[in-house]
């Protein structure tokens, strides 16, 4: 019908420290929404499938070295190269669940000591999420979850700094969910805020841009 053709999808972003459970929750949310008959896709950044994504992947695996500014801009470029497709999907009514976005970019790079304003600049003009969900866990608790992998950044002291950066970035519009709850409880809370957001978008909330 006319209404559903003109209504857009929602841009949902999940953020949090490494091992906070984002990937598990994105997967479960995706499955749920799909089963409910929504048009939905599961995305993640970095998107390691592109040329830029492969450079990022090699950096994260410690197989290449890059200046902190250079890798920051690659992460940002990786979002820019997906921007038009993202807009197309949203406008055609598909909801996107995105595992990490610009906030990861700013939080991880500023945790290395880069200026926040400098980190934010290349993100200006990307699509603004309709909802940011922060899965909240302390760096100590996250580290207890089977330990970190071998990737760059997956270290206790660094994650502590990242947590501080996220705290500085958070605003009142973010939905913060306690990531130490059971998988099912988190899933339930997540569904609530997401369905609510999808409804708002469906009713005609316009798409907007970062970083305002």
User: The tokens of 29 are what?
Assistant: 């949310």
Residue with the two structure tokens 């669940």: 97
Nearer to ligand NYM, 18 or 187 (CB): 18
Find the binder of ligand NYM among 18, 130, 136, 187 (CB under 6 A).
18
Site for ligand NYM in 35-54 (CB under 6 A): 45-46
Residues 209 and 186: their CA atoms lie apart, in Å, by 28
**In angstroms, what is the minimal distance from the CB of 60 to ligand NYM?**
6
CA torsion, ordered 113, 116, 122, 124, to nearest 10 deg: 160
Residues 122 and 78: their CA atoms lie apart, in Å, by 11
Residues 26 and 32: their CA atoms lie apart, in Å, by 10
Biggest alpha carbon–alpha carbon distance for the chain: 53
**In angstroms, what is the minimal distance from the CB of 123 to ligand NYM?**
9
What character string, x for contact with ligand NYM (CB under 6 A) and - otherwise, covers 182-211? ------------------------------
Nearer to ligand NYM, 48 or 175 (CB): 48
The verdict on 134 binding ligand NYM (CB under 6 A) reads no
Q: Could you list the residues that contact ligand NYM (CB under 6 A)?
A: 18, 45-46, 60, 75, 100, 104-105, 108, 153
């Amino acid at each position: 019908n006319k209404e559903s053709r003109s209504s857009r999808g929602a841009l949902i972003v999940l953020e949090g420290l490494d091992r906070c459970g984002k990937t598990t929750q994105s997967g479960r949310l995706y499955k749920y929404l799909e089963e409910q008959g929504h048009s939905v896709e599961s995305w993640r950044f970095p998107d390691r499938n592109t040329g830029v994504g492969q450079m990022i992947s090699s950096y994260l695996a410690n197989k290449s070295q890059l200046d902190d500014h250079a890798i920051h801009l690659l992460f940002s470029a990786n979002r820019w190269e997906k921007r038009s497709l993202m807009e197309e999907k949203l406008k055609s009514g598909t909801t996107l669940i995105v595992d990490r976005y610009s906030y990861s970019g700013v939080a991880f790079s500023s945790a290395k000591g880069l200026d926040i304003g400098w980190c934010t600049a290349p993100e200006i003009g990307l699509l603004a999420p309709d909802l940011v969900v922060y899965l909240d866990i302390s760096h100590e608790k996250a580290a207890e979850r089977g330990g970190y992998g071998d990737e760059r950044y997956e270290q206790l002291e660094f994650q502590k700094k990242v947590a501080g950066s996220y705290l500085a970035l958070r605003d009142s519009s973010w939905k913060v969910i306690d990531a130490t709850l059971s998988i099912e409880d988190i899933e339930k809370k997540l569904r609530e805020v997401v369905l609510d957001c999808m409804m708002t978008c469906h009713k005609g909330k316009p798409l907007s841009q970062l970083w305002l």
